[in-house]
């Protein structure tokens, strides 16, 4: 974790870290996290996925949709969240 006098907020570049999430779409352990419309919060990539992919082409199309709408996934959840806003552990 990096803490700088000019930017007094902790910054984690890698590892098991706490992340604030919006759980409008439930987050399960292992879900990829992307940036949310709520500033400073992440959300599950499943917000943009209507169904689970059945093959690699569908999975690739889903990832393209996520990148177009929210940007690339940046973390993987290590805890679940059913509703509301919460802080969970995630792997960056």
Residues of the domain holding 47: 17-91
pLDDT at 42 over 80: yes
Residue 26 lies in a domain: yes
Distance, CA of 31 to CA of 46 (rounded, Å):
8
- Is 3 a member of any domain? no
Query: Does some domain include residue 51?
Result: yes
Whether 83 maps to a domain, the answer reads: yes
Tell me, yes or no, whether 9 lies in a domain.
Answer: no
pLDDT in tens, 52-73: 778 888 888 877 776 676 667 8
User: What's the structural domain count of the chain?
Assistant: 1
Q: For residue 12, is it within any domain?
A: no
Residue 65 belongs to some domain of the structure: yes
Determine, yes or no, domain membership for 10: no
Single pTM value for the model:
0.69
Which long-range contacts link 23-26 to residues 24+ away (Cβ below 8 Å)?
Answer: 23/81, 23/82, 23/83, 23/84, 23/85, 23/86, 24/83, 26/80, 26/81, 26/82, 26/83
Q: How much is the average pLDDT of 33-57?
A: 80
């Amino acid at each position: 974790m990096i803490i700088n006098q000019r930017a007094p907020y902790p910054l984690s570049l890698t590892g098991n870290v706490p992340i604030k999430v919006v759980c409008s779409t439930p987050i399960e352990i292992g879900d990829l996290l992307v940036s949310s419309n709520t500033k400073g919060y992440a959300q599950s990539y499943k917000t943009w996925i209507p169904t689970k992919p059945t093959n690699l082409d569908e999975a690739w199309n889903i990832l393209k949709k996520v990148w177009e709408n929210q940007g690339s996934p940046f973390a993987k959840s290590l805890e679940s969240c059913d509703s509301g806003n919460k802080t969970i552990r995630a792997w960056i």
